[in-house]
Amino acid sequence: MTTLSERISQSAFDGSRLRVVLLLDLFDGAQKQFLEAYEHMRNSVASVPGHISDQLCQSIENPSQWLITSEWESAPPFLAWVNSEAHVETVQPLHSCVKDTRSLRFSVLRETGQAFSVSPEQQVRTGLQPVPRVGDGVVRHALTFTVKPGSEKAVAKILAGYTSPAARVDDSTRLRRTSLFMHGNRVVRAIEVQGDLMAALRHVSRQPEVRAVEEAINPYLEQDRDLDDPNSARLFFTRAALPAVHHVSSEGPTPGEVNRHALFYRAKEDCGLAVARMLAQQDEAAAENRSPIVSSTVFQRDDIVVRLIDVTGPLDDRPVLALGIQGPRKAATLARLLVDGDELPDVPQAREGDARIKRYVTRADMQLVTDRYAPPES
């Protein structure tokens, strides 16, 4: 019998195959243009490493509704492609014929012809995930962008002073929490949504108080955008997407006050995925041992890695745990993957009292600009 993992958990690193479902609603009369764009996209995607197959389907009830499904060897190659500049260019022709889209991503747990109970050996061979995870109904996502050097204080003041939008989106979706951090001139906005993430993002973008803040920071952005131009706005937010690749929350009640921190990891070129995978493994192990880290979410895009942690007590009480380098050679492993990794000690096992690790954690700890919970529904 399959055993459920009791911890709240999500991961792109469980080795299971990935099924991606893209729902599309076309503009009237755009079918021919859409098919031409799809053929171009299909040929491009076919050569992407990790891609297995895809299908294009048209509704038998409403010809304007289409469905694209694709299968991937695992989640990491898909995430690497969907968040790349190549993907942005590939899907550009679709924008003029597609009215609305919704993307859904699923791990493959069971399929016809495979045994219900999957051994570890079978999992490697079939790519099936043997143990379902327990969810909490929360979708976690982040956006990141850079501002012009020298404008950091002005941007932080603008971002800290906005009025929170209404939490309720619809009967099934509401905003739960928004945490905003800065590290130098990089901004990271982490969002927690109960329900449909895309519905929540559209809801937020239409709120006048949010739009006013976005317009106010426009002059300071390193990447220009025009929020009145749908293509410009879409391109900006596509490039700003920083998806959650792993999340784990420990079981049971949490003792004491919990503080939220975001740690910024400057991965070397093409090492971002390896950094994220290592941190995910460290956080899974920490959750099993009831550590001071109550929950952890790893966000990764290309070589940008941000780890959001809720921790009891001061961060510098357990810098080794906070950085994710517990265990033999973990500090050395992480050091090889980071741009500034030579600042970490090259020791067989990192010690909590090491001054170099404390200094590194202090530098990696992002400045918290604002952290807002949605008020409870009346």
CATH, residue 298? 3.30.70.1090
Q: Are residues 183 and 274 in the same domain?
A: no
Same domain as 194, residue 251: no
Residue 103: φ, ψ to 5° = -110, 130
Range of the domain at 325: 245-366
The Cα 127–Cα 74 span in angstroms is: 8
Shared domain check, 251 and 223 = no
Alpha carbon dihedral 198, 95, 148, 80, in 10-degree steps, equals 70
**Does 1 have pLDDT greater than 50?**
no
- Which CATH number covers residue 198? 3.30.70.100
Do 78 and 115 belong together in one domain? no
**pLDDT-based confidence at 4, cuts 50/70/90?**
very low
pLDDT digits (tens, 9 = 90+) for 231-260: 788 888 888 999 999 999 876 656 668 899
Residues in contact with 244: Cβ distance below 8 Å, sequence separation at least 6, in sequence order = 10, 140, 141, 142, 297, 298, 299
Cα-based distances in Å from 133 to 102, 227, 278: 23, 38, 20
Same domain? 77 vs 152: no
Distance, CA of 66 to CA of 35 (rounded, Å) = 11
Span 129-157, pLDDT tens digits: 666 777 788 999 999 999 999 999 999 99
What pLDDT digit, counting tens, does each position of 333-348 carry? Answer: 999 999 999 999 988 8
